[in-house]
Structure 1
Amino acid sequence: MTPLTTRRRAHLPSGRSAVVAGLAASALVLGACSGGDADEPAGEAGGAEVTIALPEEPRTLASWNAYSNDGHPVLRNVTEALLNRDPDSNELVPELALEWEQIDDTNWQFTLREGVTFHDGTPFNAEAAATSLNFVLDPENAFPMRTFLGPDVTASAVDEYTLNVETASPDPILPTRLYFVTIPSPEQVDDSDAYETNPIGTGPYAFESWNRGQNIVLTANEEWWGADSDDAMGEQDIAQATYVFRPETEVRAGMLSSNEADLAPRITSEQCDAAPVCESTPTVETVVLRLDTPNPVLADQRVREAIALAIDKDQIMNDILGGGETVGQIVGPGAVGYADLEPYPYDPDRAAELVAEAEADGVDVTAPITVIAREGFILRASEAVQVISAELQEIGLTGATSETQETAAFEEQWTIGYDNIPEDRAWAGLQQHGQELMDYAGSIGGYYSCDGQTSAYCDPTLEDMYAEAVTTSDDERQEALAAIAEYVYEEVPVVPIGQPNFNFGMTERVDWTPRMDGFILLKEMTVTE
C-alpha cells in the first residue's frame, strides 16, 4: 500500500467558473500524525492544553460513533480498538490486540494486551472485550457503523487474554473492519444514557465534560497503558484538550490568528494560506451524489446517467471544494477492487438528450428532485447543492431544488435503508464516503447492497455478485470487486464526483501532520508553550 505523502501548503488548482471562483474547502474532520518518536515509550503526560475548533458537534458520544466524522475527533482518543493504523504506511498495527490470526473460514483469534484498564477501573480482558463488542455489533441495536462491518459477528473469550470472533459467513477482511470498532467499558453498555453521553474507554484521554453547544473537554488518563509501553505509537504531550464547535469557516480560521484555537480543520485554501501554519493533504474520502432509486424518476437509468453527465465535477472539486481529483469510482487506487474507471464526463448536451428520451417514454421529468447535503460536513455544501440543482434544471429536470439539513435530521434519513425510502422522496444526496477499509466490499455493502444502511439501491444481479465476491481473497477478490465497480458504473445509482484535498490550519505551537484515515489522535501531537 502506498504511504500517504503529506506536505506543507500546496497551491491547489484554480477553478473555471466565475460564479464560484475562489471558493475552496476541505471536507472531513482532520487526522494527526506523531509529533514525537513513536518508537520511544510514551512517558508521563505533559502540561500543554490545546483547543480544537471543529465544524460540528458530535451527535452522540456513544462508542459506535467513533468511526464517524463528527465523532472520531473526540472518541478515538477516549476509546481504543483492537487495531489501529500506522500513520505513515497506513497498515494495521496493534492497539488493544497484540496479534491476530484466522484459524478457519469463519473464526479469528486475537491475543490481547495485558495490564490495561478502562477509565472506570474495570480490567480489560477477553471477557470484557467480548461483552462490549457483542453489544456494539448487535444487529438489534442497529448502530449506523454496522454499515461497514459485513457479516454478523459473535465475540467470545477463549481464555483471559484470547478473544475469538466468529463471523456468520467467511469475511477475509475482518481485522480491517474491527479497526473501526472501539471498545467501551462493559460496565456502562447497559446504561443507555451514560453510554450516549459519558464515554469510558481505555484510551490516553478520559472524558471530562460535555457542555452541549459549547465544548467537550478531555484530560490525560494517568493510568493509560501506553505511558510505559514502547509500542503505544504516541505520547501524552497534551494534558487537556478542549473541543469547540464553530460551523463558520471564517470563525474557525479567525480563532487561529487570535490564538483562541490551536487547530482548525475544514477551512478554505485562502484561509489556510493566511493561517500561522497550514497543511494541505489528500485523504481517503470521495465526494458522491447518491440517488434515491425507489423514486420513479430516479429509478430510470437514463435519468441517473443524465445526472452523472450534467455535473461539472471539476468545477465542484476545484472551484467549491478547494481542489482534488475527479474520479469514476467511490474508492481510490489503494483499495482492493479499484477498477480505474474514467470520471463521467461533463456533457450537458448528451444529458439533455437522455432526459428527453425518458420523458418521451412517460417519465415525469418535472417531478421534484432535492439535491441535499448535511450541514457542517462537506464545506460549502450549500453552494455545491445549488450549483448541482441548477445543472439538473438546465438539462430538463426542472423540478430540481437544493437544501441542507442539520446532522441529526440528515443522518436519520440517510441511514433508513433501501426498503424504507418512500417512493415520493427523490433525494440526490451529496455526501462523502470514507474508504478507510481500503476494500471496495465495504463500499458495496454500504452504498449498493439491498441491505446497506446507507444504500438507496437494490439489484438482484449485484447481490449475487457481491455474495460471491466477499468470500474471496487476493487476486480473485480484486477481480470480483472490480467487476462490481464496472457494473455499477453503468447503472449509476451513485455518481462519484471526486477525492478532495483537505486544508488544516494551526498555530505554530502545534507539531502535527495529517493521517490518511483522518483521525485526530492527541497522542500523535506535540505542543510547545
Structure 2
Amino acid sequence: MPMPPLTPASGPRPLRIPGVFTALGILLASTACSVGNTDEGGTAADTVRIALPEEPPTLEPCDASLTATGRVTRSNITEALTERVPKTGALEPALATGWERTSEDTWTFTMREGVTFHDGTAFDAEAAAFSIDRTVDSDIGCNVDGYIFGDSELTAEAVDDTTLKVTTAEPDPILPLRLSFIEIVPTDTDTQDKVREPVGTGPYKIKKWNQGVDLTLQRYDGYWGDEPAYTTARYVWRSESSIRAAMVSQNEADIAVGLTPQDSAGDSAVEYPNNETSYMRMDAGKEPLDDIRVRRAINYAIDKEGLVASVFSGLGEPAGQIVPEGVTGHNDKIEPWPYDPEKAKELIDEARADDVPVDTTITIIGRNGIYPKASEATEVVQRSLIDAGLSVEVKMLDVNAWMEYLLRPFPSDIGPTLLQAQHGNQAGDAAFTMEQIYGSEGAQSSYGTDKLDSMIDKAENAQDEKRQQAFADALAYQNDEVVRDAVLAHMTGVMAISPEVSYSPNSATNDELRLRAMQPAE
C-alpha cells in the first residue's frame, strides 16, 4: 500500500549573509573551545566536525524522535526496518528488504541478511521483534511510543530468522511508516531502563562521549551498506548560534546547525526547509488558561507576522496549525490567528469580569537552543501577553530540564504554563501529530476533550481521502473549539557548511543529520 507522500521540498539554497565578522563575533569565536580533531578521531581529512546547539540528553534509540537525540542517533548509530525519503515521503528498505499486508491487522516483513550489530552479534527477526516490544510495550517511557503509536497495541513475532510478523489490535494502514521510527537494538539491551550509549547496526558506533565536552563516533567496519566517507564524526555543542557559525568560518567545525541570518556565516550559510512548526502549548487545565476566552486572547495578542519578520529574520511564515502543508491531514482552510491586541484585551476583561483569575502568573517555559533566538521569541510573547492584561514570567531551561515539561507526567509544583515547543512531521501523516499532542492522554498533551479524542481515533482508522478529511476536521475543531495552542510559525532552517564538505540538507535534516550523506568536497 502506498505511503502518504510529502510535498516535494525545495532544495537548499545559499543564504547570502555578509561574511565580515563584527567585533563581537570575533570575540565570541575566540572564546569557543577548539574542536581540532587530531586527538579524538584522526586528521581533518577523515573526520567531520559538527557543532550542535545542545548536548544530546541521551542517545537512547527509543527516544530518537526527540530532535536533540535523533540528529545523532537515527541512521548513524541505529537503523530502522524502513526509512523515508524526505523529498517524496516514500518508504525504502533499510533493515527490512520488503513488506506486505497479509491480513487486515497483520503485516509481514522480510529481514535483510548479513547484517551485524556493533558488538558483532547478528541482526535477525528476533532482534526486530525485541526492539518493537521494548519500544511500545515496556515501562521505560519511550518517546517514540507516545509520539508514533499512542494507545495502539501491536504484537511482533519472529516467524524465523528472516521473517517478522507484526499484528495490530486495529487495522493500521500505515504500520510500515510507523516502524520507520523504531530503531533496532540487540536482544540483550536493557528493558528496565533506557540506555545512554546504544549498540546498533548503523554505519557509525560510539567511540567516546566526554559528557559536557564532546562526542565522537567511529565508522563501523562491519556495516552492511556503502561505507561512509568519514572515518570519524565529532560533535560539540555551543549554545550561542554566532559561536557555532564562527567555528565553521574559522575552520573549527565543518557543519553548524540552528543558525540565524545574523550569525555571519558568510557564503557557508545554507537555507533549507526544516519541516518544523513553532508553537506555545497552553496548560489549559489550570486557571486562568482553563477559560477559552483567555486562550483565544493569547492567540489574538501575538503578532506572528512581526515575530517572523523580526526575531526569525523572515525565515518562516506565520502558521495556524502544527500540521504543515504536504502532510496528510493538513487543513488548508485554517489561517493564522489575526493580530488583534484590542480583541485580546477585550476577552481578558470579559474573563476578569466573570471572576476568572486572570492576574494569576503564567510561566512561559522556554528552551535554550530549541531554535535560533529562542529567548527573544519568549520575550516577544511575554510582552504581548502582558500588554493584553495577563501576568507573565519567563523561565528558560536547558533541554534536560525542559523535557520534564514536554512529556507526561508533567511537574505538579508549578502553576499555569505556556511551553515553548516545536514540532516536525517529516513522516507525512497527521497520525504522528494529533494523538500525542492533542489527545487527552497524549505523551506531549496538556489537555484534550472527549470529542477531539473521538475525531482523532476516527481519522487514524480511515484511509485515503477519508483519512485526509477526518484529520482536517479534527484540526478545525481543535482550532475553533479547543484552542490548546498558540501556533506561531512554520520554520526555515539555516546551517553553515564548510567548503571542504559536500552535504545537501533537506526537510529531515533537523531530526536526523545523516553522516553517510556527507563527504569531502571535490
TM-score by length of 1: 0.88
Count of aligned pairs between the two proteins: 483
User: Are residues 1:378 and 2:371 paired?
Assistant: yes
Could you say what secondary structure the match of 2:396 adopts? Answer: strand
Q: Which residue of 2 aligns with 1:106?
A: 105
Superposed displacement of residue 423, structure 1: 9.2
Q: Which residue does 1:330 correspond to in 2?
A: 322
Change (3 A) 1:191 1:458: closer
- The reply on whether 1:245 has 2:247 as its aligned counterpart is no
How far is the alpha carbon of 1:148 from its aligned partner? 1.8
Counterpart position of 2:284: 293
Deviation track 1:194-216 (CA, whole Å, cap 9, x = no partner) reads: x6232210011111110000111
Partner letter of residue 427 of structure 2?
Answer: L
**The residue matched to 2:375 in structure 1 has which SS?**
helix
- In the other structure, the counterpart of 2:450 is 460
Match of 1:350 in 2: 343
Change (3 A) 1:104 1:495: farther
Specify the alignment match of 1:513 in structure 2: 504
The counterpart of 2:424, out of the listed 399, 412, 434, is: 434
SS in 2 for 1:197: coil
Pair 111,47 (structure 1): closer, same or farther in 2 beyond 3 Å:
farther
Q: Residues 473-517 of structure 1, C-alpha deviation per residue, up to 9 Å, x if partnerless?
A: 101111111110100011210121111111000210111111212
**Unmatched tracts of structure 1, length 5 or more:** 13-45, 228-234
- Asked whether 1:391 is paired with 2:384, we answer yes
- CA distance, structure 2, for counterparts of residue 331 and residue 466 of structure 1: 13
CA distance in 2, matches of 1:307, 1:61: 36
- Counterpart residue number, 1:496: 487
Q: Give, in whole Å, the separation in 2 of the partners of 1:190 and 1:429.
A: 30
Whether the 8 Å contact between 1:119 and 1:202 is mirrored in structure 2 is yes
Q: Relative to 1, partners in 2 of residues 1:254 and 1:86: Cα closer, same or farther, differing over 3 Å?
A: same
Name the residue aligned to 2:46: 48
Query: What is the CA-CA distance between 1:190 and the residue it aligns to?
Result: 4.4
Matched-pair contact (CA < 8 Å) for 2:366–2:374: yes
- Encode CA deviations 1:85-117: one digit per residue, 9 max, x unaligned: 224433221111111122223221111111101
Residue number in structure 2 paired with 1:20:
none
- Deviation track 1:160-210 (CA, whole Å, cap 9, x = no partner) reads 111112223222222222111111122233484xx6232210011111110
3-state secondary structure, aligned to 1:183: coil
What is the match of residue 6 of structure 1?
A: 11
Percent of pairs with identical residues: 37
Partners of 2:329 and 2:472 within 8 A in 1: yes
Alpha-carbon distance between aligned partners in 1 of 2:51 and 2:354, rounded to the nearest angstrom: 52
Tell me, yes or no, if structure 1 residue 144 matches structure 2 residue 143. Answer: yes
Aligned counterparts of 1:372 and 1:366: Cα–Cα separation in 2: 18
The correspondence of residues 276-287 of structure 1 with structure 2, limited to 5 A, is 276-287=267-278
Measured after TM superposition, the shift of residue 275 of structure 1 is 3.3
Whether the 8 Å contact between 2:15 and 2:267 is mirrored in structure 1 is no
Q: Residue in 1 aligned with 2:57?
A: 59
1:55-454 equivalences under 5 Å are 55-76=53-74, 77-150=76-149, 151-190=152-191, 192=193, 196-227=195-226, 235-271=227-263, 274-322=265-313, 323-340=315-332, 341-397=334-390, 399-417=391-409, 422=412, 425-454=415-444
Contact 2:140-2:192 at 8 Å conserved across structures = no
Distance (Å, rounded) in 1 between the aligned partners of 2:491 and 2:352: 35
Q: Give the distance between the partners of 1:441 and 1:492, measured in 2 at CA.
A: 19
- SS at 1:253's partner residue? helix
Which residue does 2:476 correspond to in 1? Answer: 486
d(CA) in 2 for partners of 1:421, 1:197: 23
- How far off is 1:158 after superposition? 1.6
**Change beyond 3 A, Cα 1:219–1:421:** closer
- Corresponding letter in the other structure for 1:263: I
String of CA shifts for 1:42-82, please: whole Å, max 9, x gaps: xxxx9621110111011112111222211122212010011
**Equivalent residue letter for 2:141:** A
Could you tell me the TM-score, scaled by structure 2's length?
0.89
Shift of 1:441: 2.1
- Aligned-partner residue type, residue 380 of structure 1: K
Structure 1 residue runs of 4 or more that deviate by more than 6 Å after TM superposition:
none
**Higher RCO structure (Cα 8 Å, ≥6 apart):** 1
- Structure 2 spans left out of the alignment, 5+ residues: 1-5, 18-43
Query: How far 1:143 moved relative to its partner?
Result: 1.3
2: CA distance between counterparts of 1:465 and 1:110? 31
Q: Distance in 1 between matches of 2:339 and 2:60?
A: 42
Residue in 1 that maps onto 2:33: none
Q: What is the aligned partner in structure 2 of residue 17 from structure 1? A: none
Q: Does 1:525 align with 2:518?
A: yes
Is contact 2:368-2:374 (8 Å) kept?
yes
Distance between the aligned counterparts of 1:11 and 1:286, measured in 2? 24
- Deviation (angstroms), 1:3: 1.6
1:232-271 alpha-carbon deviations (Å, 9 max, x no partner): xxx4111110001111112111111221100000111132
SS of 2:493's equivalent? strand
CA contact (8 A) 2:326 2:428 kept: yes
Higher deviation after alignment, 501-510 or 176-185 = 176-185
